[in-house]
């Protein structure tokens, strides 16, 4: 299978070389790696250029966006810029972060999963972070969810869900739309990817409000939002985040923000979420 990797990168001079080295050492190499330098002010583009001289399947795309790092829009706008530079000759496409170290068999294993079942639309492993000298699971989501840092999409699935949406919640709506269109999502607990930078480390309060806005634009409604907000705040061990999330939800509602999904899809999403919650309780 041919696969492309697109990496949005902003000031990743401490990590991007490690990420690219792990990719050029894959047992099955990607056909293309596109690194999108999004207005970096450090040595990120120079480091990428060093790899380009050695590996012709790596390319660099430069773009400029706002310096404020709000989750969702900045990274996906950069991803979409990279997408413009590639052709359609791939079997699956990967959105990856520039602060990861992949095990050498990572993509060979994903290929096996995609081959094993033609209804698998997305696949991925799990992020691990270093704590006290040990690599432990970055436990921010359920184990049936693929982290936004390392998403792989079958081409047909990627096109049917309409690509990636430049908004907070993009890495949830993609999976919900997969389910809406009857694709399967495969997570592999044996694939441990080292995540070198803590998720959300640079987010401010405005970014935290965006999480509540995302719940609104996903069509969750208040009660699902309240439950999801409480769960996420507790997972992050910061209970007061719950108030930021709820605040963000109502700000989006009062501003009448457009949903990321259709009314039919929003209804499906609410039904799916309630079903999943009941299954966990009973």
pLDDT at position 144 is: 86
By the 8 A CB rule, do 215 and 261 touch? no
The pTM score is: 0.90
Q: What is the CATH number of domain 3-195?
A: 3.90.550.10
pLDDT at position 64 is: 84
By the 8 A CB rule, do 61 and 43 touch? no
pLDDT at position 102 is: 98
CB-based contacts of 195, cutoff 8 Å, min separation 6? 97, 99, 100, 127, 128, 129, 138, 149
Helix axes 170-180, 263-281, angle to 10 degrees: 90
pLDDT at position 232 is: 86
The DSSP secondary structure of the chain, one letter per residue, reads: --EEEEEEESS-TTTHHHHHHHHHT-SS--SEEEEEEES--SSHHHHHHHHHHH-TTEEEEEE---SS--TTHHHHHHHHHHHTTS-S--SEEEEE-SSEE--TTHHHHHHHHHHH-TTEEEEEEEEEEEETTEEEE--SS-TTS--TTEEEEEHHHHHHTTS--SSTTHHHHHHHHHHHTT-EEEEEEEEEEEE-S-TTTT--HHHHHHHHHHHHHTT--HHHHHHHHHHHHHHTT-TTHHHHHHHHHHHHHHTTPPPSS-HHHHHHHHHHHHHHHHHHH-
pLDDT at position 235 is: 83
**Residue reference for tokens 């907000």:** 229
Domain ranges of the chain: 3-195, 206-281
CA dihedral 269, 119, 164, 112 (to 10 degrees): 130
How many residues does the structure list for the chain?
282
pLDDT at position 200 is: 53
Beta bridge partners of 7: 35
Per-residue pLDDT of the chain (282 residues; tens, 9 = 90+): 999 999 999 999 999 999 999 999 999 999 999 999 998 999 999 999 999 999 999 999 998 876 555 666 889 999 999 999 999 999 999 999 999 999 999 999 999 999 999 999 999 999 999 988 899 998 767 788 999 999 999 999 999 999 999 988 899 999 999 999 999 999 999 999 999 987 654 555 667 788 899 999 999 999 999 999 998 888 888 888 999 999 999 999 999 999 999 999 999 999 999 998 888 777
d(CA 153, CA 123): 7
Beta strands 184-195; 134-137: pairing state: unpaired
pLDDT at position 139 is: 75
pLDDT at position 206 is: 66
**Residue reference for tokens 């709506």:** 173
């Amino acid at each position: 299978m041919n696969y492309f990797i697109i990496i949005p990168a902003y000031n990743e001079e401490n990590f991007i070389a490690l990420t690219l080295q792990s990719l050029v050492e894959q047992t099955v190499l990607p056909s293309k790696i596109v690194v999108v330098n999004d207005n970096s002010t450090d040595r990120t583009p120079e480091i990428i250029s060093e790899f380009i001289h050695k590996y012709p399947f790596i390319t660099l795309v430069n773009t400029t966006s706002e310096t404020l790092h709000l989750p969702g829009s900045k990274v996906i706008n950069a991803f979409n810029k990279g997408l413009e530079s590639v052709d359609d000759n791939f079997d699956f496409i990967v959105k990856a972060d520039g602060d990861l170290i992949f095990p050498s068999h990572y993509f060979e294993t994903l290929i096996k999963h995609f081959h094993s079942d033609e209804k698998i639309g997305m696949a991925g492993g799990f992020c691990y972070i270093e704590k006290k000298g040990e690599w432990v699971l970055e436990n921010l989501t359920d184990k049936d969810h693929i982290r936004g840092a390392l998403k792989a999409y079958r081409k047909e699935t990627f096109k049917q869900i309409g690509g990636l949406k430049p908004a907070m919640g993009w890495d949830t709506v993609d999976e919900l739309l997969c389910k809406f269109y009857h694709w399967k999502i495969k997570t592999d607990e044996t694939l441990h990817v080292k995540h070198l930078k803590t998720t959300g480390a640079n987010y401010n309060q405005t970014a935290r409000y965006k999480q509540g806005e995302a719940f609104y634009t996903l069509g969750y409604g208040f009660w699902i939002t309240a439950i999801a907000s409480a769960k996420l705040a507790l997972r992050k061990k910061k209970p007061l985040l719950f108030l930021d999330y709820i605040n963000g939800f109502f700000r989006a509602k009062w501003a009448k923000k457009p949903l990321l999904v259709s009314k039919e899809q929003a209804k499906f999403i609410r039904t799916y979420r309630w079903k999943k919650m009941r299954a966990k309780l009973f």
